[in-house]
A and B are shown apart, each in its own frame.
Chain A
Amino acid sequence: AQTVTQSQPEMSVQEAETVTLSCTYDTSESDYYLFWYKQPPSRQMILVIRQEAYKQQNATENRFSVNFQKAAKSFSLKISDSQLGDAAMYFCALQGGSEKLVFGKGTKLTVNP
């Protein structure tokens, strides 16, 4: 069975500062994909960033970057220059061996002005 664990139920950050959200996963698949999704309050889930497991290079999307440690099965998300609009639930998800996404329980990020 595949599992995704997000050990931080809540995190907070000051506007313009940097925050890192943690995610660990477990899978027996050799080929898989990892994702971070953002779910703002009462709004739909949107993709933040994705990482292919076979790629060594960490994915980056503007202020969002990941630290992918394959051996440790760790996939953390770093948000730089945090903005008020970054406040949301963040979900880490794994896709491998199947089309379904397996999600963690989420981390609620609060951005303080």
Chain B
Amino acid sequence: DTGVSQDPRHKITKRGQNVTFRCDPISEHNRLYWYRQTLGQGPEFLTYFQNEAQLEKSRLLSDRFSAERPKGSFSTLEIQRTEQGDSAMYLCASSSYAGTGDYTDTQYFGPGTRLTVL
């Protein structure tokens, strides 16, 4: 059973450019999460999907950010018109929700994509 994978692992871009990251969750995990981690801080929640539906978005997710999970499998996170403040590690996690209404699912994290905006 492979874990959560993310691509690319590192991305360097110039301010104003668009970037897109991909996350492949653990197979058959129906929930997928995006977090952002800046240096010296813990991860901060951005958004999550259950299957293909985006169910919650943080206020951190400005209009320049968009996330999709079109077929309920992999997900992409796009940042338009990047700013230096977007430099961070972008983490993806997945979990398997049984639908019982109980928060029993554990989130498993990928290695992250480190974004540097010059």
| A interface list, Cβ under 8 A from B | 4, 31-33, 35, 37, 43-47, 50, 91, 93, 95-96, 98-106
Interface residues as binary, B29-59 with A (CB distance below 8 Å gives 1, 0 otherwise): 0010101000011111100100000011010
Q: Are the C-beta atoms of A105 and B56 separated by less than 8 Å?
A: no
CB distance from A63 to the nearest CB of B (A): 19
| CB pairs A–B below 8 angstroms (21 shown) | A31-B103, A32-B103, A33-B103, A44-B3, A44-B4, A45-B91, A45-B109, A46-B109, A47-B107, A91-B42, A99-B31, A99-B33, A100-B58, A101-B33, A101-B43, A101-B107, A103-B42, A104-B42, A105-B40, A105-B41, A106-B42
| B interface list, Cβ under 8 A from A | 3-4, 31, 33, 35, 40-45, 48, 55-56, 58, 91, 103, 106-112
A88 to B106, CA, bound (A): 20
Given contacts A4-B42, A95-B103, A100-B33, 8 further A-B contacts (CB under 8 A): A44-B110, A44-B112, A45-B43, A98-B56, A99-B56, A100-B58, A101-B43, A103-B44
A35 to B41, CA, bound (A): 16
On chain A, the residues within 8 Å of B33 by CB distance are 99-101
Prevailing SS type, chain B contact patch = loop
Q: Are the C-beta atoms of A43 and B42 separated by less than 8 Å?
A: no
- Given that A46-B109, A47-B108, A91-B43 are contacting pairs, would A100 and B56 also be in contact in the complex, using a CB cutoff of 8 Å? yes
A98 to B58, CA, bound (A): 12
CB distance from B39 to the nearest CB of A (A): 11
CB distance from B52 to the nearest CB of A (A): 16
> Among A31, A44, A102, A106, which residue has its beta carbon within 8 angstroms of that of B45?
A102
